[in-house]
Amino acid sequence: MAETSMVIQVIEALQARLQARPGLAQVNVFALPQGPQDLGREYIVLATRIPGRQEFPFASKAIKNDAFTLNGVVGRMEPGKGDTAALAAMGRVMDLFAEIEDALRTDPSLGGLDVTAQIGGYEHSPGATDVGRVHEMTFEVRVDARLVSG
């Protein structure tokens, strides 16, 4: 049977890699979206949306290039009000994002998968609730995979 995509393997490998990082020991790392009550104070969701495309090079039926993007989000809720709390939340989100960057820079194959994964774009979204300041940063992980049918 031919593989149709590496999406699940990449999400699971990246999730395992991030959960093993000491800098993310107290952070909830989810593969897919969760309810707001389940996210916790700090969280990473690896795949909120997954656009992709496939190409068959050289008119081959046995080789397929699979390119997709994991659109994820990193978030932090910081108790308090004003810019001090807002900037603290933003700073912590940037620290969490740096862990993702480092994990991919260290091993873009995610432990031996036939893929190359790298950070693409990102976007900050500050916000506020009645109990504190929220900062979320959406990000992209671009993945290129080569699939060979057996």
**Domains of the chain by residue range:** 7-148
Q: How far apart are CA 81 and CA 150, in angstroms?
A: 58
pLDDT of residue 1: 44
Length of the chain: 150
How far is residue 14 from each of residues 10, 34, 110, 111, 126, measured CA to CA in Å?
6, 17, 6, 9, 26
- The answer on pLDDT for 73 being more than 80 is yes
- The answer on pLDDT for 105 being more than 70 is yes
Q: How far apart are CA 39 and CA 43, in angstroms?
A: 6
- The answer on pLDDT for 2 being more than 60 is no
pLDDT of residue 112: 85
> What predicted TM-score, i.e. pTM, was given to this entire model?
0.91
DSSP secondary structure letter of residue 44:
E
Q: According to CATH, what is the number of the domain 7-148?
A: 3.30.2000.10
| Residues in a beta bridge with 43 | 28, 75
- The answer on pLDDT for 129 being more than 50 is yes
Burial 117-150 (b: 16+ CB within 10 A, else e): bebeebeeeeeeeeebbbbbbbbbbebebebeee
How many of the other CB atoms lie within 10 Å of CB of 111? 10
How many of the other CB atoms lie within 10 Å of CB of 61? 8
Which is nearest to 65 in space by CA: 127, 140, 20, 3?
3
61 vs 133, higher pLDDT: 133
Per-chain mean pLDDT for the chain: 92
pLDDT band at 65 (very low <50, low <70, confident <90, very high): confident
